[in-house]
Every structure is written in C-alpha cells, then in structure tokens.
Structure 1
C-alpha cells in the first residue's frame, strides 16, 4: 500500500515532467522516510556505540573480561535469530502495528540497560534490545519497500536508508567513546531510549498500515526450526571468536544449527503456508543477491575490526585519532549514499552490485600496502574507498533481492535481506579472526586477514556476476 510519494502538477502530462514527478518525494513521503530511516539508524547505532565502553562497563557492573562478550552476544542472538519470524508475522498481521510494538520493546529495554544494577539486569536489557531490533528492522524495511514504489523513488529511499545504516555503525564507534569519557557508559544506552521515544511519537500518525489480504496460519514448525537454527548458528560463530573452532561446544552448536536449518528446508517443502517460500529462494535475484549481501557485510566488518587493531596496537594511535579515521570513512559513506541511486538508475542494480563488490575487494587489497611504522594515511584512504563501494553494494543488493517481489511478500523478502545483514555482521570476525591469532605477530595476522578478505570478496563478485547472468544481459 503506497502513499502519495509524488508532488502534484498541473497541465498536460508529458514524458519529461512525468520523469521529474517519479523522482520527487512529497513532503509527507519525506517525513515517512525520516521516521523509517531514524529507526534503522538507531538500531545500527546500537551495534557499535557500546563497544568502546565495554571495559568501563565491565568494571562498573562486575562483569569479568571473559564475560564481556555477552554484552554483544546477548544482543546478536535475538536480533539475528528472530528476523525471519517477525518479518513474516508483520506480513500477516500488520507491519505498522508490529513496528510500533518493536519500538516500545526497544525503548523499554534500553531504559533497563541504562538503569542496570547488576550483570543479569544489563544482559536482560541487551537481549530485549536485540528482540526489539528483530522486530524493527524487517518491519521497517518492508514498510519502506511497500510505501515507495519500485523504481527511482525506492532507489532513493533505499539509498538514504543504506547510508544511515553504514553511518550509524561508524558514528556509534566515535560517539560511544566520547559519551563514555564525558557522561559514562550508561549514557550510550540512555541515548537509544530517547531515540526510541522520539520515533515512537512520530510514527503512528505518519506510517500506513499494510498486511496481506488473506490471513493464513503461521507456519509454526518452520518458525521453530529456522529460529532455532539461526540462534544456534549465531551463538556458535559468536563464541568461536573467544573459544576457537576447536571447542567441543562450538562444533556441537554448529552441528545443531545446520541440522535445524536443513530440517527447516524439509518442513517448508511440505508446508501448506510456508514461512519462507522455497520458490522465492530459488529466484536467481533472491539467492545471489543475498549471497552478495552476506559477503559484503561479513568482510567489511572484518576489515573494520582488524584495522582497529592495526591502528591502535601497531601504529599506537590514540582512540581519538582512530575514531577520526573511521569518521572520514563515515563521510565517504554519506557521499556514496547520495550518488548510489543515480548510478543504479543508469547502470542497473545488478551491474552496480557486481561492480561495487569488485571495488570493495580491490580497495581491501590496497590495505596490504600499510606498514609497521606508517600507514595511517593509506588505511584512511583505502578503507574510505572500500566503504563507498560497500555502501553501493548494500543498496544494490537490497534492490536486487526485493525487486519484482509482490507487496504481500515484501516482509519476507526484506526479512531475508536483514537476516543476511545480521548473520554477515556476526560471522566475518570469528571466521577470519582465527587467522590473525595464528601468525607470528599481530601485524602479520592483520595482513593475512586483509589478504583473505580481499580474495573472498573478489571471488564472490565473479560468482555473483555469473549467477545473475550479467554476461547475457545488457542491463538489469
């Protein structure tokens, strides 16, 4: 159900004015886009704003060094595990209604984390934040794709949303350090509570309600198997970073996760009203688009992680100067986000997706030029250019996956997109982080990870190009 996203004009309709109309957002559409993007930005901020505050938080609440990982894992588990389920529930019972429920849950959980009096209350707040994010992200994305019709308007909306997603993660890294030093770690959680309230006040009067016309029963067996499988997979990959892949519990949980996801495929093939339509997964654009998304998110998060180690441990830059490097990266992402929709409109989302993956891999490889005595400038320029390509890949893969999907299945399609994002953000560091710890020095480990990262992205770009059949198409 789309709202009026075009300005009104008078006089006869001609080709040129119609193009202008199709490219223009009305005042109300801008407000709707602001609300949806603010919610996505808030969740992206939550992924990184707490990271630099963890040592201070641990001392304050009595969390041991080994237990600090749960401040991140407690959020990652529900935020990634329940995305598909809530995306489908939103399709069936109303996206706006569920979106507002997620905002209430996220705001209340952020307040609980702000006021936490012991480790248990803090981790409970983080887990509930993750659950709220699992509601907000797919419902917000499906509201965006059903509100803005396919074409230039949706390209523009997803471009702005993707920019703020990337910018929120970057700003969180810088803002978290500043707020922790000046106001204390609780201010980072308090900021999220305030943001949730602001969005919650604006959203009810602006967002349209939408759901499928029919009311089929929810696929409970599918929901149980896919949610359990994703939870097990994310838990295993998150804890592998601390325990290593040789740990029995990690392997056991991985086996359980893969087994449940395999059972999910079997369940869906026999379900009358499946949670995930297997024919949708067989769509070339859905399958290869999500593979591209998984690669771009997992590999870019790994680059940011090892660069943080390199800048602070090898070059001995302060937290402030390291933050400036990533601040430049954030500015580059904003620049890329403003131009990406135009590039996509000219060359097509599929071509841009492959091109930006190639760029991300190439500039990732350029980071191998950094040295042990200098390299801050090389790192700043290369990671900024890689981030510009990364943002283009984020926007174009979302368009590739959701294009041509009926409105009644947009929640499912965007649920797949956002699940790919969450899993990608989770698996990159543990998968490649092992390489950094098995080398003679940290610097050698960083270079090994960067080389593997670039190789994976470049290989994925070629596979995605073949999978999308670009050699047989002039334009997507």
Structure 2
C-alpha cells in the first residue's frame, strides 16, 4: 500500500531530482582531466592513478541493483537523501585526502552513494510524472542533465584544477551534493507508506559480488592483459557467483530480480541496447580528452572548454527527443539517434596528429551529443515503460547497471585495442602519430558497435510504442497505478 503526498511544485521537485542525477554523472568524468595533478599530489603509481577512476565506477556499477531494490522497499526519498549525504561526505574526504589509500577509498564510497542516488531519483521522476507527454518532457530534462553532467565534468575538472588545484574538483561536488540534498528535502514531501516484500540478501550479495568481480577483471585487464591469471580468475569467480545468483533467485519468495519485471514493458530490449550504448559512452569521455591534451597539446582548461559544444548539443537533443518520438515513433527515434552518434564517432576516427579542434573535434562532438542524448532519453523511458511502480526503483537500478557494466566492458576492450594499435604504430611512426592511431582505432570500433546497435534497435523496437510519450497512433501508453501529475508518491 502507498500513501500519496501532493507537491505544489512538480517543476521544483524535478529540478532537484535532475540535480541529483547531474551530480552523479559529474563525478564520473570530473577526475579525468585532473589525473596527472592528482597523481603527483598524493603520490600515486600508474595503477593507483587508474583506480581513482575505477574505484568509483566499480562500486557504482556493482551496487546499483541493491540500491534500486532498497529504494523500493525502504523508501525512495529516504534512500535518495541518504545517498546524497554519503556522496557529499565522501567527496569532501577525497578532497582532503593526503594519501592514495584515503583517496581511492573515498572514491569507492562516492560510488556507494551514487548507487543509492541514481535509481531512487529516476523512480521518483516516474512517480511524479505519469505516462504521456509530461513524462516525455521530464525524461528530456533527465537526459539533458545526464549527458551534460559527463561533459561538464571534463569542463569543471579543467577549470578547477588549473585555477585552484585538484582538491577543488571534490570540494565542488561535495558542496553541490549538500545543496541538492537540501533541495530534495524541501521539494519532495514526506509520505507514510508500507510495502510488502523482503530484501533479498542472498541474491543481492551474489549479484553484487559477481558484478564486482567482473568489473575488477575488466579494469585489471586494461593494465595486465586478458590472459593474466588474476583477470581470468576474476572472470571465473564472476561466472560462478552469477550461477549462484540464478539458483538463489529461483528459490527466494521475493527475488531481487522478479520475473515479472521482464514480462512487463520492454525492459529486456531497453537494457540490451543501453548496455551497448554505454560501452562507447564512457570510452568517449576517456579518449577524447586524452587526444586533446596528449596530441593537440591543450591545457586542462582549454580541453574542458572544448566539451561545451558537445554539452549544448546534448541538452538540445534531450529537449527534442520526446517531440521526435511522438512524431516518428520510438523505434525510428532510437535507430536514428544511434546512427547519428555512430556517424560522429566515424568522423572522429579520422582525427590527425597535426589536426585542430575546429577541424577534428567540433563537428563530430556536435553529432555525438545530439545522437547520444536522444538515444539515452528514449532508452531510459523504454526501460521503465509498463513497469509497476513497486518495481520502479529496481528498474532504474537495472538500466543504470547495464549502462555502467557495458561501459566497463567497452572501455576495457577499446583501451586494449587502442593500446595494441598504438604499440604497432610506434614501431613505424613518431610518438604523436602512434597515439593518434590508437585513438582512431577506438573511435572507429565504437562507431561500428553503435551502427550494429542501431540495426538491432530497428529490429527489436519495430512494432513498439513510443516510450515516455504518446504511442504512434496517439494513444498514451499506460502503466500500473497512473497518478495525476500533481501527485508525488514518495517514501
């Protein structure tokens, strides 16, 4: 049973929830530009520098399913506030860190907080806006801040690092998290609720440890190689734990991933496509700043400013996505968006060691921003279409998990292939040309992956309705427990 609580300003509530998502995405990319300064600041080794990024992604990706289910059972508003508090405190600890161990631990705790924030905030957006044009517009805002958060992370990372030093990238995130916590507390009312069900501790433990082992193996493979004993052992442990998870789920009366979740809407389709999109999303924000700094020789500040066109294109695409979907249908919108992003990545695969921002980065970045934003908005909507509200947090956790795990797999594979290409080119070409050859390889393969994903999307969404907006025939898709737009069900 749920008790509804009204909110006088759905717009203010949406702004607070979108701010929470923006902060999570910001923390994913804000450290990338500052890694050289962080390395010297706390005395990191090469592997330790990598784990400044990996510790956050590992904890975030592995705990999202648990965070989503906990939000459904314990209360979404409560979990969101707790996640923001943990996120803000750990960000402050990262900024104050004077040793590598403290910094990496703080980044892992940041990931824990993010795993509570992301699914709870998405579920609350679904509660706030019922199916129809209003939800489509809300998801457009959601997509805009998600994509802009990744691009803004690179920009802010460059600006703050160059102006005040690397600790300020964490101080600013901490301040933002605490401000958003206050906004969420004010904009989303308390509501009493009871919900049937028990937390599936065995299922949560096995799937979390399985994902942890998988992502650990993938990130280690980038440094040690795919045949390394530790890497192979991590994959074997992940497979064994995943098998155990399946067996546990079959016997548990209230499983973490109930079969009903995959029988409603198009959850499976959305998550498969989101995993493939995620496989190139994270890699883009990894390789593009490297090309700008290591090959073109730009400073952190100039590199960050170079992300602005991508961010603006992302916000524009997210705003237009619901309108495009209502006009041409979900399947055509997703397919077209993926092809647009693939075209931008193909363009990037032609970068030159002696190129320039205008000639090599500006045009493809704009295309990528448009395609990425539209695809993300529509796939997020597709992932929760038809899902009962009781499972909305879990559905949000699942789609975020597939994006994060897809990103870890994609980045590990693309980094390995780029490194191999660079090593081969280095035997015949100067250093900058060899680096550029590796980046070209990564962008070219990413383009091929997205083109294949577009074909798959066209097949899987061919006869579906438009997520987050009206169906192609003008009918508004329905989900369980539709509520008025001014009613917010929170717990």
TM-score normalized by the length of structure 1:
0.90
User: Which has the higher mean CA deviation after the structures are superposed, 96-105 or 379-388?
Assistant: 379-388
1:453 corresponds, among 446, 453, 467, to 446
Partner residue of 1:64? 45
Say whether residues 1:466 and 2:447 are aligned partners.
no
SS at match of 1:370: coil
What is the CA-CA distance between 1:283 and the residue it aligns to? 5.3
**Greater RCO (Cα-Cα under 8 Å, separation 6 or more):** 2
CA–CA separation in structure 1 for the residues paired with 2:463 and 2:336 = 11
Superposition map of 1:433-444 within 5 A = 433-439=415-421, 440=425, 441-444=434-437
CA–CA separation in structure 2 for the residues paired with 1:41 and 1:300 = 16
CA–CA separation in structure 2 for the residues paired with 1:165 and 1:73 = 19
Say whether residues 1:430 and 2:423 are aligned partners.
no
User: Which has the higher mean CA deviation after the structures are superposed, 427-436 or 255-264?
Assistant: 255-264
Say whether residues 1:336 and 2:329 are aligned partners.
no
What is the CA-CA distance between 1:121 and the residue it aligns to? 2.0
Q: Deviations over 1:58-77 (max 9, x none)?
A: 22222223211121122112
Partner residue of 1:33? 14
**Mapped contact 1:83–1:419 kept (Cα < 8 A):** yes
Partner residue of 1:13? none
2:385 corresponds, among 397, 403, 415, to 403
Residue 211 and residue 139 in structure 1: after superposition, are their counterparts in 2 closer, same or farther (change >3 A)? farther
CA–CA separation in structure 2 for the residues paired with 1:414 and 1:322 = 32
Superposition map of 1:39-118 within 5 A = 39-118=20-99
**Mapped contact 1:90–1:211 kept (Cα < 8 A):** no
CA–CA separation in structure 2 for the residues paired with 1:404 and 1:269 = 23
CA–CA separation in structure 2 for the residues paired with 1:438 and 1:112 = 37
SS at match of 2:349: helix
What is the CA-CA distance between 1:3 and the residue it aligns to? 6.5
Residue 369 and residue 59 in structure 1: after superposition, are their counterparts in 2 closer, same or farther (change >3 A)? closer
Q: How many equivalent pairs are there?
A: 455
Partner residue of 1:22? none
**Mapped contact 1:329–1:384 kept (Cα < 8 A):** yes
CA–CA separation in structure 2 for the residues paired with 1:378 and 1:249 = 39
Q: Deviations over 1:33-63 (max 9, x none)?
A: 1110111111111111122222222222222
User: Which has the higher mean CA deviation after the structures are superposed, 341-350 or 72-81?
Assistant: 341-350
Say whether residues 1:139 and 2:113 are aligned partners.
no
Cα RMSD of the aligned pairs, angstroms, is: 2.3
CA–CA separation in structure 2 for the residues paired with 1:230 and 1:402 = 22
What is the CA-CA distance between 1:471 and the residue it aligns to? 9.2
Residue 201 and residue 146 in structure 1: after superposition, are their counterparts in 2 closer, same or farther (change >3 A)? same
Residue 414 and residue 472 in structure 1: after superposition, are their counterparts in 2 closer, same or farther (change >3 A)? closer
Say whether residues 1:290 and 2:283 are aligned partners.
no
Partner residue of 1:125? 106
What is the CA-CA distance between 1:97 and the residue it aligns to? 0.9
Superposition map of 1:161-180 within 5 A = 161-180=142-161
1:418 corresponds, among 396, 400, 405, to 400
Say whether residues 1:359 and 2:352 are aligned partners.
no
Unaligned 5+ residue runs, structure 2?
426-433, 474-491
What is the CA-CA distance between 1:436 and the residue it aligns to? 1.1
Residue 31 and residue 306 in structure 1: after superposition, are their counterparts in 2 closer, same or farther (change >3 A)? same
User: Which has the higher mean CA deviation after the structures are superposed, 83-92 or 437-446?
Assistant: 437-446
**Mapped contact 1:268–1:278 kept (Cα < 8 A):** no
Residue 358 and residue 148 in structure 1: after superposition, are their counterparts in 2 closer, same or farther (change >3 A)? same
Unaligned 5+ residue runs, structure 1?
6-26
2:255 corresponds, among 260, 269, 274, to 274
Say whether residues 1:220 and 2:201 are aligned partners.
yes
User: Which has the higher mean CA deviation after the structures are superposed, 449-458 or 280-289?
Assistant: 280-289
TM-score normalized by the length of structure 2:
0.87
CA–CA separation in structure 2 for the residues paired with 1:219 and 1:122 = 32
Residue 187 and residue 204 in structure 1: after superposition, are their counterparts in 2 closer, same or farther (change >3 A)? same
Q: Deviations over 1:328-376 (max 9, x none)?
A: 1111111112211211222333331222112222232232333333353
CA–CA separation in structure 1 for the residues paired with 2:261 and 2:252 = 14
Q: Deviations over 1:375-417 (max 9, x none)?
A: 5324321122122101101000011110111111111111111
